[in-house]
Amino acid sequence: MTGLELVVAGWFAVNVISKLADQVVSLVKKQIKYQKGVKRKLKTLAEDLKKIQAAIYSACRLQITNPALQHWMLELMDAAKAAENVLNKFSCNVAGEREEPARPRGFTKSTGTIVKRLFFHDRYLDELNDVLNRFGKVAAEMGNFLKLVELDLVVRKHREMLGGQQTTSMPIESNVVGRDNERNDMVNFLLATGNSYVCGNDVNFAVVSIVGIHGVGKTTLARCVYNDRNIQGHFDIKVWLCVSDEFNVKRLMIEIIESACIQRPHDLHRLINLDTIQGILNQVLMEKKFLVVFDGIRSDQIIAGWETLWPSFKFGKKGSRIILTTCDQNIGEMMEMKTINLKGIEGQDYWRLFEQWASRGVNPRDLPILKSVVKQIAPKLGGSPLAAKMVGLKIASMLREQGQKIMQSKL
């Protein structure tokens, strides 16, 4: 399910839970007979429904992207369907009791009728118990759900801040955790001398795209490969381009020229004619083995401007490479290229990354507490390096504040 679908599901769940809660209250007021404990169980269900309804209401306005949130919502919807089914059966039975014709005074219900009703409640009480257990499980996880909603907001705000931010090739992290396989795969591709993934018979360059959702580490991996010691000296020209929202062909051409050529025309930025600028770019790339990174590109941007840039890249030397980082899964269908689908970091690598961020500036005596927190929260972040960074730094800040309060209380 997509984030938008889950928003709709959230609003739907709020309405369903509300109706179920009203139905439970109605059944409790009618005081279902013949089975001890039913009224108490229905009251328990009503309390769980209220808590869950409040939790969903606080989150359904979000486009939920965290896998753990999605799983929780799906479990809730399944439990709601089961509850609706069993409550309808109880309601129908109660309605049947109310519609029975009045008996003359002195007449009592037959033993068969009583046994039948006892059997009905015994049979559906098992279903009610199952529903209670399912809702109890969902309600027990509600605290984690609300924490994940808060964490999802933190990560979302950070992504929005990064939306218009320019990137550079300079590494931010000295040690990239959990990406050894992808890194080695890309380095081998960049150094290869074969013709695999070459974009046509008349060109000398090949393209590799790093595809993945926001925050999964595409730019970090591209930086890591761009600065790999095995790559240094292999290419005559290396250029890092941050595409951002506007795929301005003229700007990108000028940036390539400026990065690749020391003796560039002094009036380069004043040139208006795109053909003149492209002629200069062709000369710059002529018989040079280049590596060009387009960070943050979209398929619609390729459609809009790639055909203009493409002819200039043909002037490069055999073995030239282009790296694209993108969230667009369809970009690989637009041309021949090698694709690396970047997923979340898994297992011990993710714990290590999360702990690396969460332990910054934390007192060593708080590390046991930190490790416990990491083990609880890490599995719920979907392997996102960005989430590990943002949530980890938040936890570190909270631990530092707590430590300062303890120190002040001792003074």
CA angle 226, 229, 235 (to 5 degrees): 60
Q: Could you tell me if residue 247 is left (phi over 0), alpha (psi between -120 and 50 degrees) or otherwise beta?
A: beta
- Count CB neighbours of 131 within 10 A: 23
DSSP state of 317: P
The pLDDT profile of the chain, 411 residues, written as one tens digit per residue, is 444 344 434 444 555 555 666 665 565 555 545 455 666 766 776 676 666 666 665 555 555 555 666 676 677 777 777 777 776 776 666 555 544 445 444 444 444 444 444 444 556 667 767 777 776 777 666 666 666 566 656 555 555 554 556 777 887 766 788 899 999 999 999 998 765 655 555 678 899 999 988 888 999 999 999 999 999 889 999 999 988 667 788 889 999 998 887 667 777 878 888 999 999 999 999 999 999 999 988 877 777 677 888 889 999 999 999 999 998 888 877 777 889 999 988 888 888 888 888 887 777 777 777 777 777 777 777 788 888 888 888 877 877 776 666 666 665
- What the block records as the tokens of 86 is 């069993």
- Which helix (H) or strand (E) segment holds residue 210: the answer is strand 205-211
Q: Is 256 within 8 Å of 279 (Cβ atoms)?
A: no
**How are beta strands 205-211 and 338-341 bridged, if at all?**
parallel
Burial tier of 12 (Cβ tally within 10 Å: 0-12, 13-18, 19+): middle
- Given this model, what pLDDT does residue 189 score? 93
Q: How many CA atoms lie within 13 A of 358 on its CB side?
A: 25
CB 208 within 8 A of CB 324: yes
Q: How many CA atoms lie within 13 A of 21 on its CB side?
A: 15
The predicted structure's pLDDT at residue 131: 72
Per-residue pLDDT, 315: 92
The backbone region for 148, taken as left when phi is positive above 0, alpha when psi lies in -120 to 50, beta otherwise, is alpha
How far is it, in rounded angstroms, from Cα 351 to Cα 125? 43
Please state, in angstroms and rounded to a whole number, the distance separating the CA atoms of residues 124 and 322: 64
- At 5 the pLDDT is 40
For the stretch 255-314, pLDDT in tens is: 999 888 766 777 787 888 899 999 999 999 999 999 999 998 887 777 767 788 888 999
H or E segment to which residue 202 belongs: none
Instruction: Give the Cα separation of 302 and 311 in Å (integer).
Output: 14
Q: Which CATH superfamily is domain 180-341 in?
A: P-loop containing nucleotide triphosphate hydrolases (3.40.50.300)
Q: What is the DSSP letter of 15?
A: H
Beta carbons of 395 and 366 less than 8 angstroms apart: no
Domain boundaries, the chain: 3-160, 180-341, 347-410
Q: What is the pLDDT of residues 207-263, one digit of tens each?
A: 999 998 888 899 999 999 999 999 988 999 999 998 866 778 888 999 999 888 766
CA distances (Å), origin 187, targets 15, 137, 220 = 53, 47, 14
Q: How far is 318 from 395, CA to CA, in rounded Å?
A: 49
Structure tokens at 82: 């089961």
Distance between CA atoms of residues 366 and 362, nearest Å = 7
pLDDT at position 361 is: 72
Look at residue 174 and give its three-state secondary structure: coil
CATH of 3-160, one of 3.30.70, 1.20.120, 1.10.10, 1.10.357: 1.20.120
Give 54's contacts (C-beta < 8 A, 6+ positions apart).
none
Q: 125, 118, 6: which is closest to 72 by C-alpha?
A: 6
